[in-house]
Structure 1
Amino acid sequence: MRLHMKRFSGTCLRLLMAVIFFMVLLDGAVDAAVITTDTVWQGEVKVSDDVLVPKGITLTIRPGTIVKVVAAESTKTDPEYLSPLTEITIRGTLKVEGTEKAPVVFAGEEKKTGSWAGIIVDTGTAAMQFLRISSAETAVTLLDGSLQMKHASLSGNRYGLVLQGKKAVAALENSTVSDNDYGTCIFQGAQMTTKATLIEKNRTRDSYTASPKAFDPGVRLELPQEGPVSRRYADAVAMGETVWQGRIEVSGLVRVPEGSRLIILPGTVIEFVRRDTNSDGIGENGLLIQGRLIAKGTREKPITFRSAEKDKQMGDWDSINIMNSAESQNLIEYCRIQDSYRGLHFHFSNVVLHNSVLSNNYRGVQFQESLVDMKGNWLIDNKSGVQGRDSDLSFTDNVLYNNYVGANFFRTTLSASGNMVMGSWREGWRIREGVSTLRENLIDGNRYGLMLADMFYGSYNGNSFTNNLETGLSLKNADNVEVNGNVMSRNGITGLSIQESQAMIKGNQITDNAERGIGVFSFDGIITENNLAGNGRYAIDMDGKTDIAAPFNWWGGDDPARVVLDRRTDPNRGSVLADNPSERPFSFTWPLANLPTDTTWRGTIGVTRNLAVPAGAELKIFPGTTVVFAPATTLLIKGRMIASGTPADKIRFTSRDKKGAEDWEGIQLEYATGSIVSHCILEYAAWGLHSHFTNLVVTDSLFTNNTGGIRFRSGPVEIRRSKFEKNSIGIRSYLGNAVIRENDIVGNETGIFVREKGGGLFITRNNLFKNSNYNIRVGDFNNEDVPARDNWWGTTEPLETIFDGRNEPGIGNVLFEPYLTAPVATGAGVKL
């Protein structure tokens, strides 16, 4: 086999370091290598750096082989590798041919858990029998590949087996997965079958299955128009000012030297022919910009960089390399960059990347020692979205979705806001060293949300760490860090993990995580004024031996002693000093502009700007929650809202100022099928609920001091056992389809207003009285009769309280007979 060609900054060309390995390696050492021919390992093999088996290549390991892996955590940047630890990555085929008497052994040289990455089967195939794997971060990771494992022992690792992706299929037979932190983890729809296999005695969990909810990243750039090739380049130098337009084909390296400029016009398509002279699976053609690049497309006519191959693959071409171009700004705007090794790669340069799509690349963006502005981009379906180091970065309003790793920054001065980092198969966001400020970012549905390591300063305010499969936010060896006003909710295991860190943890919403709100190993700081409620097993799990200060938090109404695991349960643990617990939740201002993923609200939530729940997302509001709206704010539901209180713990939607009707706009539901409002109070709004084309159920709720309680169009809507009082209009229907039953509609100006097409209403067994203008008013454009039988009108003369066709001919009548002669026991005993 041949040593892997490292990719160096400065020249951006991949140099061959060494070319020959033995076809059969006996008792040898393996340095960083891409294995380019079918290879056999036998005897004792020492792996001192990453090994990659590319597509089409087979690595066979003979019986009795011992593979020792050197611990080598580093800051390496090669996109084809997936872990900072030493790894054996299979994109081709791995055959492990151990026997009962001569098993194959994989172990870290240090024999320390997590000292090497493990075996990563990345879209490849592995057939393994009679083997033992230990000391790994993950013994075997299967990513959209195939695994057959017989007579295996996975023990002494952090994770035994991790399966990810709908194409990942694993079969275990006569194997044991034990004495790991986690046994098996199955994510993103992977499949596993077992036969005569034991998965037991793992420290944290034996088995764990989770998948993030699908998300539409919202890419809106037009696809390129096809056309004939207008210009072809092999290896070339573009001197002076060069303009590209049309369809450009590149079959070599095009260099733009210092002092020259390449301008690419909107709608241009640049295609790179695949050339792989060293058979490492990575294409070599691309661009090298040492002058300046201006690639300014438009939304309707984006510029496209892609593979020229019919069957386009990740890594078909190398990169847009920008080197030593710092004197003037390079601009990439409204571009599509796909099928590359590193889509955009620059060192010592000034680069602006705006409104562009980078997909199907080993790495979307990589930079070093540069000034960078990234705004409004989509980085989706890459192995790595973006990685940077030793740079100044402004990172705003980007969407990173379904990458293996979303963003990874090292020693970078980072300012980041408004980004959505979602669905990453491993870390959504990793920041190591440097200075970073993050605010109002959504980090959702990743395996791990945000991981901070070796930080000496950082400010993380108003972010949302939600629905991550394992942990929302992790701090490791962080110092002088502020974590304020964040949401850490609905994470699969832990909301916030703290290890060997000093921080201020204040004013956060840490709720509804599956196992624990905060997990602490060692911490020097304070945890205060947080809402710690609804977490599965523990609000705080104190795993270390040093006491921590956690005064003046809200524990969801629980005694802290019941929801904290510390020295009181285990004398080997430190104590959580939970002095002066708050009796009420702290008001928490919702930090994001929208609610694009499944969200839970609990406690007291402040809404200071318009919020929207898009189609496909759900907002769940827990009993006892109070939602406080600033003036002129609206909650728009296009997904689904489940607001289910209880008789004892109602949900209240109210205004901040409580001056009167129209303090806030209200809750608007648009095609929000399946929404529920139960045991709620809605007050001081323009319209408490404004529903269009929504299957909506409202029960046991109070609408008061609004301009209107409920208005709806279409439906079906069901309103039962609720009370409408002190509104200008209690209920308003327009082209409605609704059942209005057993409600108290009392003390409004108009009880029910039927604007148009009232024949679809069924109004029955309600108490409709003492509404100052009319109990029911039929609108001028309603030409249908309104069914309203068996109601109590507060009088033996219902017509005196009704405005219909008897008052204004041609507008339809209220069919009120027969009517009740006494009030209905509605059960609508909802009070303020």
Structure 2
Amino acid sequence: MVTSMSLSRIACAGTALVLALLSLSMPNGASAAVMTTDTVWEGNITVEDDVLIPAGVTLTVRPGTSILVVAAESTKTDPEYLSPLNEITVRGTLVVEGTGKLPVRFFGAEKKVGSWAGILIDGGTANIRGCSIENADTGVSVADGTLRLSGSALRENRYGLVAQGKNTRADLAGSRITGNDYGIFTFGGALVATGDSEVAKNRKRDTYSPVSREFVPPAKPPVAEGAPVGRRYRDMVLLGETVWQGRIEVDGTVRVPEGSRLVILPGTIVEFTRRDTNGDGIGENGIMIQGRLVAKGSAERPIIFRSAEKARRAGDWDSVNIMNSASGQNLIEHCRIENAYRGLHFHFSTVAIHNSTLMDNYRGIQFQESVVVMRGNTLCGNRSGVQGRDSEVDLADNLICNNQVGGNFLRTTLVARGNRVIANGREGLRLREGAVTVRENLVDGNRFGLMMADIYHGVVSRNSITNNTEGGISLKNVDAIEIAGNVVAANGLNGFNVQDSGALIKSNMISDNGERGMGIQSFAGVITGNDFAGNGLYAIDMDGPEDVSAPANWWGGDDPGRVIFDRRDDPALGTVRQDGANAAPLPFVWPLASVATDAVWRGIITVDAAMAVVPGAVLTVAPGTTVRFAAGTGLEVKGKLIAKGESDRKITFTSTELKEPSAWNEILLEYATGSAIAHCSIEYATWGIHSHFTDLSVTDSVFAHNYGGMRFRSGPVRISRSTFRDNTIGIRSYIGNARIEDNIITENETGIFVREKGGGLTVTGNNIFGNSGYNLRIGDFNTEDVNARGNWWGEGDPGETIFDARQEPGIGLALYEPYLEKPLPLGAGTGEKP
């Protein structure tokens, strides 16, 4: 019997343990182990490299087997794998046959938490019994796969079990998940049944099951399927200049040598048959460019690269490979690349990728030692979006969504700006070793937002890092980094995780994170000028013995000692030095031009450019917040606005500088159904609120010193207990459906102006008086009567303060009788009396 073996790339048949050592040396020197036939492990097994069980292959582990996994955080780039640590990845079937007397054990050679990745079930099936799994980052991770765990123990791992994806099922019976940092984490609709298992005594948290944000990527437009194949290629070399158009089929590897060029015209469909000679589940046909590639489609007629198989799937073909092509820029523009192992793959090359879509690949884009420009692309629904190393990268205005891993960059000079990195199953962006500039990106709804390790220089500024289900920003062994002007908010556990790092962390909004604004193990930098507010347990939670400098921050109106956990709570910890704490919020400039996902504004928010709340997003403005608008700016809401202050903590919308009407534009709500304004003060705008086709409630608010307080079209709108004072026009209605009740409308030029079709209005129970022109004016194009009964119009005859058909025949009447003889005792949300 073979009792010990080092795994490289092994195929074993039955119990005979026939060894076929087929080492695959990758460009970086790492090696991979792919099982190509059913395999049995027994005895003592040493795993020195990654192990992959592909679809259709079963690995069986006999009772009493001991599997030692060597620690190796490599720079591997293989798209098959999900972690830089050694991992056992299951896309086929894993059967572990341990017993009470002869258990199976998986453990790390270093016998410390996180020394290997763990068992990763990626679409496969695992039946594990009588087994202990130790020292891993994640004992067992299941993504869109199936796990049966019985009579087993997951212990001394960072995570015991992570289950992710709506197609994931995990059934536990008689097992123990104890002594890990975290027990069971469940994301994205995974179903976990713990049965009679014990999930307890994990160091930080036993269970965590947040509601994951769903993001629907752009739909793929249909492709005309009827065109016949115009040309077929097997293994072939294309010399000189070759032009492809129509429908091309590749049944081999097409090579374009140095000095030659391949030009692909708009609307071309390039399809690759599936050829898998080594049985590893990965197709091998593709294109090899050593000359130059120009694939320039158009928005209306994109170029398509995809599988030729009827049932297309990721990995059916290899890649568009570009090697040693740096003399001129290779161009990929308006292309769609699907079903590949690596959609685009290049080394030592200069490549521009513009406005292209890469979906349903193992990895969308992979490169090294290259100069790369990626602008305006969509990388969604791949196992990995983009991975690059040792390169210069300009990453701008891309959508990277719904991948297992969004972007992974090693030793790069990276400028990432204006990207949307959304809803990736693991990391949104992982940056390791290099110099980076990360500016004005949205990193939202991933498991981890921005992970940075061993970075020696960089700037992270004006990003929105929000709603990530576990953590926002992770810093490990970084230095000379400035992190400034970011929103780090509403992340599931921690806004920041900081370990062995030095940075200047200043002028950020760190708010509404589930447990901690910052969790710090060791930090040698400065944390200053930040707004900490609304974090679940602590603004800063120390987890190490060294002191931290955190002067001149705002701690959300709380006593810093209450929201900071440090030596004052546990003498083994360092102290957070918070000299010169600010008593009031520090002004914060909102970093992005849109609110593209749910967000909370707190403190003092400055809007320095026109801003939009996109459809589907909810902007919540917290009580006590002041929002200041620069000249010419405003807020356009096509999602939802919830601005509900409190009687003693009002919300203020105002100008940054000028204190006069029209100093800023307006808050426009368009199809923003469900929005609500309460206990707000809106001043110095052109129009405070401008509402179109929106079910809107406005209560207990003050509109003052604007050109117009509020105007609306359609509705329904409800305006109550509010004051409209010192505006040119208090309220203007155009084809409106509204109830205006219990308000004070005074000292405006026109109190209420009904421009057209006022028959849908009910104006009642208000004090409408002292307006210098008219209390109520019917517009020249309004032919409908307006129900304005039951109001107080000031002293004297109400008709003298109303302009309607009595003054201009042909327009509607204001039906103001009966009217009140004295003012109502209205507070209008301000406590003032008329």
Superposition TM-score, scaled by structure 1 size? 0.96
Per the alignment, residue 126 of structure 2 pairs with: 126
Equivalent residues of 1:250, 1:273 under 8 A apart: yes
Task: Say if 1:344 and 1:365, in contact at 8 Å, map to a contact too.
Answer: yes
Distance in 1 (CA, whole Å) between partners of 2:220 and 2:710 is 35
* Equivalent residues in 2 for 1:461-472, closer than 5 Å: 461-472=461-472
Describe the SS at the equivalent of 1:498: strand
Structure 1: which 5+ residue stretches go unaligned?
1-15
CA 1:364 to 1:792, structure 2 compared with 1: closer, same or farther past 3 Å?
A: same
Report what 2:630 is aligned to: 630
How far apart are residue 829 of structure 1 and its match? Answer: 4.3
* Range with greater deviation from structure 2 (285-294 or 28-37): 28-37
* Mapped partners of 1:645, 1:718: distance in 2: 17
Aligned counterparts, 1:671-682, within 5 A: 671-682=671-682
Task: Give the total of aligned pairs.
Answer: 817
Cα distance in 2, alignment partners of residues 786 and 355 from structure 1? 53
Residue in structure 2 matched with residue 24 of structure 1 by the alignment: 15
Counterpart in the other structure of 1:5: none
Shift of 1:496: 1.2
Check conservation: 2:10, 2:34, Cα contact below 8 A. Answer: no
Partner residue of 2:714? Answer: 714
For the pair 1:614 / 2:607, whether they are aligned, the reply is no
Which residue number in structure 2 is paired with residue 244 of structure 1? 244
Counterpart-to-counterpart distance in 2, 1:497 and 1:216: 29
Structure 2 CA distance, aligned partners of 1:763 and 1:220? 50
SS in 2 for 1:453: strand
Do structure 1's residue 565 and structure 2's residue 561 form an aligned pair? no
What residue in structure 1 maps to residue 27 of structure 2?
A: none
**Distance between the aligned counterparts of 1:813 and 1:557, measured in 2?**
52
Are the structure 2 counterparts of residues 829 and 422 from structure 1 closer, same or farther at C-alpha, using a change threshold of 3 Å? closer
What is the rounded CA distance, in whole Å, between the counterparts of 1:831 and 1:655 in structure 2?
24
> In 1, are the aligned partners of 2:50 and 2:88 still within 8 Å (CA)?
yes
Matched residue type, 1:439: R
Question: Deviations 1:760-815 (Å, cap 9, x if unpaired)?
Answer: 11111000001111111111221211111111100241111111112112221111
Output aligned runs, 1:345-360, within 5 Å. 345-360=345-360
Say whether 1:274 aligns with 2:265: no
Partner Cα distance (2:161, 2:816) in 1: 68
- 2: CA distance, partners of 1:224 / 1:57: 36
Secondary structure of 2:194's partner? strand
Distance 1:25 1:264 in 2: 51
Partner of 1:261: 261
Report the equivalent of 1:691.
691
The one-letter amino acid paired with 2:15 is V
In the other structure, the counterpart of 1:488 is: 488
- Structure 1 counterpart of 2:268, one-letter code: T
Matched position secondary structure for 1:562: helix
2:15 and 2:633 mapped to 1: Cα distance? 70
Paired amino acid for 2:614: P
Greater mean deviation of Cα atoms: 46-55 or 278-287? 46-55
**Partners of 2:370 and 2:425 in 1: how far apart?**
28
Q: State the distance in 1 between where 2:307 and 2:296 align.
A: 20
Counterparts in 2 of 1:572 and 1:448: CA distance versus 1, 3 Å: same
- Cα distance, 1:659 vs structure 2: 3.4
Report deviation, 1:343.
0.4
Deviations along 1:200-248, one digit per CA (max 9) or x if unpaired, are: 1111111101243223444686745641111111111111000000010
1:444-455 to 2 correspondence within 5 Å? 444-455=444-455
The alignment status of 1:554 with 2:554, answered yes or no, reads: yes
- Deviation string 1:125-171 (CA, Å, 9 cap, x unpaired) is 11122211111100111101111111121111100110111000111
Q: TM-score, normalised by structure 2?
A: 0.96
Pick which of 20-29 and 349-358 moved more: 20-29
| Cross-structure match for 1:51 | 51
Amino acid at match of 1:647: S
C-alpha deviation, 1:308, in angstroms: 0.6
CA distance in 1: counterparts of 2:488 and 2:459, whole angstroms:
16
Query: CA contact under 8 A between 1:188 and 1:211: conserved in structure 2?
Result: yes
Question: Counterpart of 1:110 in structure 2: which amino acid?
Answer: E
CA contact (8 A) 1:221 1:299 kept: no
Residue in structure 2 matched with residue 392 of structure 1 by the alignment? 392
- 2:3 is matched with none
1:361 aligns with 2:352: no
Question: Aligned AA for 1:717?
Answer: V
Counterpart position of 1:579: 579
Distance 1:604 1:19 in 2: 61
| Paired amino acid for 1:388 | G
Paired residues of 1:27 and 1:42 also in contact (CA < 8 A): no
In the alignment, what sits opposite 1:66?
A: 66
1:79 aligned counterpart, secondary structure: coil
Structure 1 SS opposite 2:800: helix
Match in the other structure for 2:290: 290
Decide whether aligned partners of structure 1 residues 266 and 111 sit closer, same or farther in structure 2, where only a CA change above 3 A counts.
Answer: same
- How far is the alpha carbon of 1:111 from its aligned partner? 1.1
- Mapped contact 2:12–2:40 kept (Cα < 8 A): no
- The 1-side partners of 2:515 and 2:739 are apart by 42
Identity fraction in percent = 59
Aligned to 2:420: 420
Judge conservation of contact 2:11–2:35 (CA < 8 Å) in 1.
no
Alpha-carbon distance in 2 for matches of 1:148, 1:301: 47
Please say if 1:336 is aligned against 2:327: no
Q: Which amino acid aligns with 2:114?
A: G
1:529-553 CA distance string (max 9 Å, x none)? 1101111100001111011111110
CA gap 1:19/1:623 in 2 versus in 1, 3 angstroms: closer
Asked if structure 2 preserves the Cα contact closer than 8 Å seen for 1:28 and 1:45, the reply is no
Q: Deviations over 1:429-465 (max 9, x none)?
A: 0111111111111111111111110111111111111
Q: Deviations over 1:494-540 (max 9, x none)?
A: 11111101111111111111101011111111111110111110000
- Which whole-Å CA distance do the structure 2 matches of 1:225 and 1:771 have between them? 68
Aligned to 1:803: 803
- 1:816 CA displacement: 0.9
Rounded to whole Å, the distance in 2 between the matches of 1:794 and 1:220 is 62
Contact 2:12 2:18 (8 Å CA) reproduced: no
1:826 Cα deviation (Å)?
2.1
Map of 1:405-804 to 2, 5 A cutoff? 405-804=405-804
Deviation at 1:754, TM superposition (A): 1.0
Q: Is the 8 A contact 1:220 1:299 kept in 2?
A: no
- Equivalent pair of 1:224/1:304 in contact (CA under 8 Å): no
Q: Which residue of 1 aligns with 2:189?
A: 189
Aligned to 1:12: none
Q: For residue 620 of structure 2, what is the amino acid of its counterpart?
A: K
Gaps of 5+ in 2: 1-6, 22-30
Which residue in the other structure is 1:141 paired with? Answer: 141
SS of equivalent to 1:133: strand
